[in-house]
Amino acid sequence: MIINNSNWLRVLLVLFILAMIIGLGIANYRFVLQAPGGNDFLARWVGAYYWVVKGVNPYDPQVSLAAQEMIYGRPADPSNGEDLAHFVYPLPAMIFFAPFGLLTYPIARALWMTLLEISLPLLTLVGVQLARWKPSGALLVFLLVFSVVWYHGFRSVVVGQFAVVEALLMAGALLAIQRRLDSVAGILLALSIAKPQMSVLLIPFVILWAVRSKRWELISWTLGSMVVLVGISLALIPNWPLLWLHQLIEYPKYTELGPPISILAGLVPSASKGITYGLTALALLYLVWEWVLAMGKEDRWFQWTAALTIVITNLVAFRTATTNYVVLLPVLCMVFGMWCGRWSRRGTIFTWLALFIILIGLWGLFLSTVEGNTESAIMYLPLPLLTLLGLLWSRWWTVSAPRLPPGLWR
């Protein structure tokens, strides 16, 4: 009888979750009909639609023009900062976008928003597991809600940014490495080439660490999966890398902002370019030094260095977006987990305070600096700098604490 009751509870839980997802999808569809937009997803959907339904290369200029006309009702004017709406993703990313190209845009966007709204709490749960953190029930629930309603998460959902899925792939790969599920980790890492500006430093770090740690299965699955993805995509469109690079070269023509480090260097306009190059070089040199130290080390050290790699990637990437910062959710979980492990009850209080400050502070900063529908460059700075400081603060406890006698590191 107890087993039957337990089974019924599982069935009811599954039905409840399905009902929630369906309700969320319906709510998103109604929102989409009343609030056209989602331009980040729109450009990818147009590329998928033209390729899957009409058989037109997603990098073809007519595809970009069709997306521009959906956004502006006319061709875009890059001199005014208008988005050329290129597909601008590597062709292997079609594994995610192609199914949505079979649907009408309103339905596709509503389903995409639903996928992102589910992925953000999942990303948080993965982050909690990576940090080996056991927050209280109330704190965990708030974290899950926070992941969707904080500025970077909410914006990602509304504009339809793939960064949420990319972040889940990256964090999922790190969790699989932690659980020694190397085949799963390799597949997820390979799939993360869909948005390479987010995983460009993480993938080589993982491979180098895996070589030093003799995790040959992880290496073979990562490289093998990449070969399969790229090989199939080349068979479908042999010259897609050149077409993609052409769109990448055009990207700076209609995007003014560079990496967050350049925004920081802009505080000294007369020397901003030199400061940008200098800070970028210092950040990358420091990262390489941490990579060398982490080679062959245990999971705790590896995960900390992976988190640092993700943060520095977002600081120095030639082009990033505030929506990409959802990948820093697991990094926040790592810092919060360290606080709670170090300070127990006080750490939990600090975590609650930090979450409220981030939630209210980012929204307040956005609302006080937004111009029209364009976010200010200042929005690129707070989170990566805060997470970098948090990681640097926690470094000693990550590197040295495991070598101390039990109980002393608290």
In a domain, 336, yes or no: yes
In a domain, 124, yes or no: yes
The per-residue pLDDT of the chain, averaged, comes to 91
In a domain, 139, yes or no: yes
The rounded distance, in Å, linking the Cα atoms of 163 and 323 is 7
Domain count, the chain: 1
Residues listed for the chain: 410
User: Which tens digits make up the pLDDT trace of 139-163?
Assistant: 999 999 999 999 999 999 999 999 9
The rounded distance, in Å, linking the Cα atoms of 214 and 208 is 10
Q: Considering only 44-48, 166-170, 269-273, 374-378, which range has the smallest mean pLDDT?
A: 269-273
State the pLDDT confidence band at 400, using cuts at 50, 70 and 90: low
DSSP track, 195-250 = SHHHHTTHHHHHHHHHHHTT-HHHHHHHHHHHHHHHHHHHHHSTTHHHHHHHHHHH
In a domain, 405, yes or no: no
In a domain, 31, yes or no: no
In a domain, 129, yes or no: yes
Helix (H, G, I), strand (E, B) or coil at 315: helix
41 compared with 4, residue with greater pLDDT: 41
Q: Which residues are paired to 371 by β-bridges?
A: 374
User: Which tens digits make up the pLDDT trace of 230-273?
Assistant: 999 999 999 999 999 999 888 766 666 778 898 888 878 877 88
Range of the domain at 224: 36-393
